[in-house]
Amino acid sequence: MSDTSKKPAAEGVLGDGRLPSSAMRSYALLTPELKQLYMNFYKATYGKSKLDLKTKEFIAIAASLVSGCKGCLEGHLKKAKREGATSDEIAELIAIVLGVNAATIVDRSDIANYHLGGLFERPEGE
């Protein structure tokens, strides 16, 4: 039985209802003052520092993946490419993000089980 409550996506709208990042007006809900504060902060993070720009883009890609920011991810992938990032480097970065997030799931489940008094124990021999 099909779900008739779901409307087909309008032209230019993604299946989950979002606009593609290229069609969306960023910062639309911020006041000009708040937008300027944010932009100043963002620009400061890309100013002179101990980290080179490619490294900063790798960090931004990892943060974008973890936070789920599609527009951020697309923008930082493009910037990383401009800074000389290779496909192999991006693949390694993604593998690291996957590994850390997998460890996060193990950690959270261990903590939950501990707080439940060891509700689920490992079978003997494992």
The arrangement of secondary structure in 49-115, i.e. its CATH architecture, is: Up-down Bundle (1.20)
pLDDT tier at 116, thresholds 50, 70, 90: very high
Exposed/middle/buried for 81, CB within 10 Å: 0-12, 13-18, 19+?
middle
Exposed/middle/buried for 107, CB within 10 Å: 0-12, 13-18, 19+?
exposed
Domain ranges of the chain: 49-115
DSSP letter string, 3-68? -TTSPPPPTT--TTSPPPTTTS-TTTTS-HHHHHHHHHHHHHHTSS-SS-HHHHHHHHHHHHHHHT
pLDDT tier at 25, thresholds 50, 70, 90: confident
Compute the mean pLDDT over every residue in the chain, rounded to the nearest whole number.
86
CA atoms in the 13 A half-sphere facing the CB of 81? 7
